[in-house]
Amino acid sequence: MQKLLHRGQESAGIVTSDGESSQTFKVHKGMGLINHVFNADSLKKLYPSNLGIGHTRYSTSGISELQNCQPFVVETLHGKIAVAHNGELTNAIRLRRKLMRHGVGLSTSSDSELITQLLAFTPPLENDDTADWVARIKNLMKETPTSYSLLIMHKDIIYAVRDPYGNRPLCIGRLIPVGDMNGKGKDNTETEGWVVSSESCSFLSIGAEYYREVLPGEIVKISRHDVQTLDVVQTSEADPSAFCIFEYVYFARPDSIFEGQMVYSVRRRCGQQLAIEAPVEADLVSTVPESATPAALGYAQKCGLPYVEVLCKNRYVGRTFIQPNMRLRQLGVAKKFGVLSDNFKGKRVVIIDDSIVRGNTISPIIKLLRESGAKEVHIRVASPPIRFPCYMGINIPTKEELIANRPEFYDLANYIGADSVVYLSVEGLVSSVQESIKERQKNNPTAQKSPGKIGHCTACLTGNYPVELEW
Amino acid sequence: MQKLLHRGQESAGIVTSDGESSQTFKVHKGMGLINHVFNADSLKKLYPSNLGIGHTRYSTSGISELQNCQPFVVETLHGKIAVAHNGELTNAIRLRRKLMRHGVGLSTSSDSELITQLLAFTPPLENDDTADWVARIKNLMKETPTSYSLLIMHKDIIYAVRDPYGNRPLCIGRLIPVGDMNGKGKDNTETEGWVVSSESCSFLSIGAEYYREVLPGEIVKISRHDVQTLDVVQTSEADPSAFCIFEYVYFARPDSIFEGQMVYSVRRRCGQQLAIEAPVEADLVSTVPESATPAALGYAQKCGLPYVEVLCKNRYVGRTFIQPNMRLRQLGVAKKFGVLSDNFKGKRVVIIDDSIVRGNTISPIIKLLRESGAKEVHIRVASPPIRFPCYMGINIPTKEELIANRPEFYDLANYIGADSVVYLSVEGLVSSVQESIKERQKNNPTAQKSPGKIGHCTACLTGNYPVELEW
Amino acid sequence: MQKLLHRGQESAGIVTSDGESSQTFKVHKGMGLINHVFNADSLKKLYPSNLGIGHTRYSTSGISELQNCQPFVVETLHGKIAVAHNGELTNAIRLRRKLMRHGVGLSTSSDSELITQLLAFTPPLENDDTADWVARIKNLMKETPTSYSLLIMHKDIIYAVRDPYGNRPLCIGRLIPVGDMNGKGKDNTETEGWVVSSESCSFLSIGAEYYREVLPGEIVKISRHDVQTLDVVQTSEADPSAFCIFEYVYFARPDSIFEGQMVYSVRRRCGQQLAIEAPVEADLVSTVPESATPAALGYAQKCGLPYVEVLCKNRYVGRTFIQPNMRLRQLGVAKKFGVLSDNFKGKRVVIIDDSIVRGNTISPIIKLLRESGAKEVHIRVASPPIRFPCYMGINIPTKEELIANRPEFYDLANYIGADSVVYLSVEGLVSSVQESIKERQKNNPTAQKSPGKIGHCTACLTGNYPVELEW
Amino acid sequence: MQKLLHRGQESAGIVTSDGESSQTFKVHKGMGLINHVFNADSLKKLYPSNLGIGHTRYSTSGISELQNCQPFVVETLHGKIAVAHNGELTNAIRLRRKLMRHGVGLSTSSDSELITQLLAFTPPLENDDTADWVARIKNLMKETPTSYSLLIMHKDIIYAVRDPYGNRPLCIGRLIPVGDMNGKGKDNTETEGWVVSSESCSFLSIGAEYYREVLPGEIVKISRHDVQTLDVVQTSEADPSAFCIFEYVYFARPDSIFEGQMVYSVRRRCGQQLAIEAPVEADLVSTVPESATPAALGYAQKCGLPYVEVLCKNRYVGRTFIQPNMRLRQLGVAKKFGVLSDNFKGKRVVIIDDSIVRGNTISPIIKLLRESGAKEVHIRVASPPIRFPCYMGINIPTKEELIANRPEFYDLANYIGADSVVYLSVEGLVSSVQESIKERQKNNPTAQKSPGKIGHCTACLTGNYPVELEW
pLDDT digit string (tens) for B354-383? Answer: 998 887 788 889 999 999 999 999 999 999
State the sign of the Cα–Cα–Cα–Cα dihedral A183, A187, A192, A198. Answer: positive
Q: H-type helices in A179-332, by residue range?
A: 245-246, 263-277, 293-303, 326-330
Cα distance from B143 to chain A (closest Cα, Å)?
16
Distance CA D182, CA D197 (A): 23
What string of DSSP letters covers D86-145?
EE--TTHHHHHHHHHHTTPPB--S-HHHHHHHHHHH-S--TT--S--HHHHHHHHHHH--
Q: Are B70 and B148 in contact (CB under 8 A)?
A: no
CB atoms within 10 A of CB A63: 17
Distance CA A40, CA A3 (A): 19
Distance CA A213, CA A223 (A): 17
CB atoms within 10 A of CB A20: 10
Average pLDDT, integer, range D292-310: 96
pLDDT at D339: 94
Backbone angles phi, psi at B75, to 5 degrees: -95, 130
pLDDT at D336: 85
CATH fold of A261-427, please? Rossmann fold (3.40.50)
Q: Are D107 and D96 in contact (CB under 8 A)?
A: no
Grade residue C190 by pLDDT with cuts at 50, 70 and 90.
low
pLDDT at D184: 44
Whether D104 sits inside 8 A of C100 (CB atoms) is: no
State the sign of the Cα–Cα–Cα–Cα dihedral C387, C391, C393, C395. Answer: positive
Q: Is A182's pLDDT higher than 60?
A: no
Q: Are B396 and B386 in contact (CB under 8 A)?
A: yes
Average pLDDT, integer, range B224-240: 84
Grade residue D63 by pLDDT with cuts at 50, 70 and 90.
very low
Grade residue B201 by pLDDT with cuts at 50, 70 and 90.
very high
Establish if D7 touches chain C: CB-CB under 8 angstroms: no
Q: Is A64's pLDDT higher than 60?
A: no
Backbone angles phi, psi at C202, to 5 degrees: -85, -10
Establish if D343 touches chain A: CB-CB under 8 angstroms: yes
Distance CA B91, CA B77 (A): 26
Q: Is D328's pLDDT higher than 70?
A: no
pLDDT at D294: 97
Average pLDDT, integer, range B225-244: 86
The lowest-confidence range among A185-194, C264-273, D76-85 is A185-194
Q: What is the pLDDT of residues D137-152, one digit of tens each?
A: 999 999 999 999 999 9
State the sign of the Cα–Cα–Cα–Cα dihedral C395, C397, C402, C406. Answer: positive
Q: H-type helices in C285-325, by residue range?
A: 293-303
The whole-chain average pLDDT of chain B stands at 87
**What's the one-letter identity of residue B258?**
F
A270 is in an annotated binding site: no
Whether C253 sits inside 8 A of B318 (CB atoms) is: no
**A242: which residues sit within 8 A by CB, 6+ positions away?**
A146, A165, A166, A167, A455, A456, A457, A466
Better-scored residue on pLDDT, C323 or C3? C3
Q: Is C324's pLDDT higher than 90?
A: no
As a three-state string, the secondary structure of B228-285 is EEEEECCCCCCCCCCEEHHHHHHHCCCCCEECCEEHHHHHHHHHHHHHHHCCCCCCEE
**Chain D interface mutation, best of A45, A321, A329, A330, highest count of D Cβ atoms under 10 Å:** A321
**A10: which residues sit within 8 A by CB, 6+ positions away?**
A31, A32, A57, A58, A59, A60, A65
Distance CA C324, CA C327 (A): 8
| Top mean-pLDDT range of A443-457, C123-137, C297-311, D38-52 | C297-311
pLDDT at C321: 47
Distance CA C176, CA C178 (A): 6
Distance CA B3, CA A81 (A): 39
- Chain C residues whose CB is inside 8 A of the D105 CB are 74-76, 81, 116-117, 119-121
CB atoms within 10 A of CB B452: 21
Better-scored residue on pLDDT, B34 or A459? A459
Angle at C8 (CA atoms; ends B318, C153), nearest 5 degrees: 90
Better-scored residue on pLDDT, A452 or D197? D197
Q: What is the pLDDT of residues C153-183, one digit of tens each?
A: 999 999 999 999 999 999 999 988 755 444 4
The domain limits of chain D are 2-170+214-239, 261-427
Q: Is C315's pLDDT higher than 50?
A: yes
Distance CA D309, CA B334 (A): 67
**What's the one-letter identity of residue A176?**
I
- Chain A residues whose CB is inside 8 A of the B82 CB are none
Average pLDDT, integer, range B437-460: 76
Distance CA B423, CA B405 (A): 14
Residues of chain C numbered 166-185 and touching chain B (CB < 8 Å): 178-179, 181-183
Q: Is D428's pLDDT higher than 80?
A: yes
Better-scored residue on pLDDT, C449 or C75? C75
**Chain B interface mutation, best of A27, A44, A102, highest count of B Cβ atoms under 10 Å:** A102
CATH of C240-316+324-471, one of 3.40.50.2020, 3.40.190.10, 3.40.50.1400, 1.10.3720.10: 3.40.50.2020
Region for residue D172 given its phi and psi (left: phi exceeds 0; alpha: psi -120 to 50; beta: otherwise): beta
Grade residue A451 by pLDDT with cuts at 50, 70 and 90.
low
Average pLDDT, integer, range B116-135: 75
Establish if D269 touches chain A: CB-CB under 8 angstroms: no
pLDDT at A464: 94
- Chain C residues whose CB is inside 8 A of the D30 CB are 63
| Top mean-pLDDT range of A309-318, B44-53, C353-362, D129-138 | B44-53
Distance CA B254, CA B246 (A): 13
Distance CA D365, CA D371 (A): 10
- Cα dist from C460 to B341, C247, C268, D16, whole Å: 30, 12, 21, 38
Of all residues in chain D, what percent carry a pLDDT higher than 90?
58
**B214: which residues sit within 8 A by CB, 6+ positions away?**
B149, B160, B161, B162, B170, B171, B172, B196, B220
Grade residue A452 by pLDDT with cuts at 50, 70 and 90.
low
CATH 3.60.20.10 correct for C2-167+220-239: yes
pLDDT at D129: 59
Q: Is A177's pLDDT higher than 80?
A: no
Average pLDDT, integer, range D32-57: 88
Q: Are C120 and C73 in contact (CB under 8 A)?
A: no
Closest CA to C205 of B358, B313, B417, B418: B313
Grade residue A359 by pLDDT with cuts at 50, 70 and 90.
confident
The lowest-confidence range among B54-63, B407-416, D104-113 is B54-63
Average pLDDT, integer, range C129-141: 86
Distance CA D267, CA D246 (A): 11
DSSP label of C470:
-
- Chain C residues whose CB is inside 8 A of the D107 CB are 72-75, 107
Of all residues in chain B, what percent carry a pLDDT higher than 70?
88
pLDDT at B232: 92
Grade residue D115 by pLDDT with cuts at 50, 70 and 90.
very high
Grade residue D453 by pLDDT with cuts at 50, 70 and 90.
confident
Residues of chain B numbered 29-58 and touching chain C (CB < 8 Å): 33-35, 38-40, 43
The bridge status of strand B79-87 relative to strand B148-154 is: antiparallel
**A172: which residues sit within 8 A by CB, 6+ positions away?**
A160, A194, A195, A196, A211, A212, A213, A214, A220, A222, A227
Of all residues in chain A, what percent carry a pLDDT higher than 70?
88
Distance CA A272, CA A279 (A): 10
Better-scored residue on pLDDT, D457 or A48? D457
Distance CA D234, CA D240 (A): 10
Distance CA B447, CA C2 (A): 52
Q: Are B212 and B448 in contact (CB under 8 A)?
A: yes
Closest CA to A165 of A89, A223, A99: A89
Grade residue C270 by pLDDT with cuts at 50, 70 and 90.
very high
Q: What is the pLDDT of residues B278-299, one digit of tens each?
A: 999 999 999 998 889 999 999 9
Contact flag for A and D (3+ C-beta pairs < 8 Å): yes
pLDDT at C128: 56
> The whole model's pTM is what?
0.85
Average pLDDT, integer, range B137-150: 93
Average pLDDT, integer, range B228-244: 85
Closest CA to D318 of B16, A192, A114, A38: A38
Closest CA to B3 of B279, B145, B202, B251: B202
Whether D340 sits inside 8 A of A262 (CB atoms) is: yes
Q: Is C64's pLDDT higher than 70?
A: no
CATH fold of A2-170+214-239, please? Glutamine Phosphoribosylpyrophosphate, subunit 1, domain 1 (3.60.20)
Better-scored residue on pLDDT, A315 or C173? C173
pLDDT at A443: 82
**Chain D interface mutation, best of A291, A297, A316, highest count of D Cβ atoms under 10 Å:** A316
Q: Are C365 and C139 in contact (CB under 8 A)?
A: no
Q: Is A333's pLDDT higher than 90?
A: no
pLDDT at B446: 61
- Chain C residues whose CB is inside 8 A of the B335 CB are 2-3, 205
Distance CA D54, CA D15 (A): 6
Establish if A367 touches chain D: CB-CB under 8 angstroms: no
A460 is in an annotated binding site: yes
Distance CA A379, CA A419 (A): 8
Find how far residue C137's CA is from the centre of its chain.
23
Average pLDDT, integer, range C109-129: 77
pLDDT at A185: 43
Establish if C313 touches chain B: CB-CB under 8 angstroms: yes
Whether A312 sits inside 8 A of D182 (CB atoms) is: no
SS3 assignment, position B215: coil
Distance CA D453, CA D215 (A): 12
- Chain D residues whose CB is inside 8 A of the A5 CB are 315-316
| Top mean-pLDDT range of A276-285, B106-115, C132-141, D312-321 | A276-285
- Chain B residues whose CB is inside 8 A of the A116 CB are 105
